[in-house]
Amino acid sequence: MKFNPFLTWGCSTNRKRHVNAPSHVRRNIMSSHSKELRQKCNVRSMPIRKDDGVQVVRGHCKGQQIGKVVQVYRYVIYTERVQLEKANGTTVHVGIHLSKVVLIRLKLDKDRKKILERKAKSRQVGKEKGKYKEELIEKMQE
């Protein structure tokens, strides 16, 4: 039984919430996972933004080299490597959904560095949680 009034199973309602999501929710949806990020920065995923390096892992353009993100717009990213030539000869960037992409390189600025530090700190606290230190054990025995 459903107890939360804000939870819904309706397709149209969920679609509407996805499309009209506020920026703080959209930010989490626009995140991409990466094993390399986990090794380098101790972070499982980060929101993708312009100038990040990504690799396409699904679709007709998969397996190509690492491409730089040119634009992020409406849950779709455009990379510099994935392009199509139109009938009139102009080249157009092809939109790729975020779930078909793996984040390889981050464009680091001061805000992103703060996010990485905060996430690393919370992971460290999570690892130590539930463990008893020697000082606490001694105090408990007294």
Q: What is the mean pLDDT of each run of 10 residues along the chain (142 residues)?
A: 86 92 90 84 87 91 86 92 93 92 90 88 74 73 74
Give residue 120's pLDDT: 82
Q: Specify if 136 maps to a domain.
A: no
Q: Specify if 81 maps to a domain.
A: yes
Q: Specify if 85 maps to a domain.
A: yes
Say which DSSP state 24 is in. Answer: H
Give residue 42's pLDDT: 80
Domain count along the chain: 1
* Side-by-side strand order, sheet with 76-85: 91-97, 76-85, 67-73, 53-56, 101-105
Q: Specify if 47 maps to a domain.
A: yes
Q: Which residue has the tokens 């397709």?
A: 11
Give residue 7's pLDDT: 87
Q: Specify if 120 maps to a domain.
A: no
Long-range contacts, stretch 8-11, CB < 8 angstroms, 24+ apart: none
Give residue 124's pLDDT: 76
Contacts of 75 (CB under 8 A, 6+ apart): 26, 29, 30, 97, 98
Of 84, 79, 30, give the one whose Cα is nearest residue 56.
Answer: 79
- Single-letter code of the amino acid located at 8: T
Q: Specify if 37 maps to a domain.
A: yes
Q: Specify if 88 maps to a domain.
A: yes
Give residue 97's pLDDT: 92
pTM score of the predicted model: 0.74
Question: Which residue segment(s) compose the domain that 78 sits in?
Answer: 19-113
Give residue 50's pLDDT: 93
Can you tell me the distance from the alpha carbon of 48 to that of 19, in angstroms, rounded to the nearest whole number? 18
Q: What is the largest CA-CA distance in the chain?
A: 84
CATH number, domain with residue 82:
2.30.30.30
Q: Specify if 70 maps to a domain.
A: yes
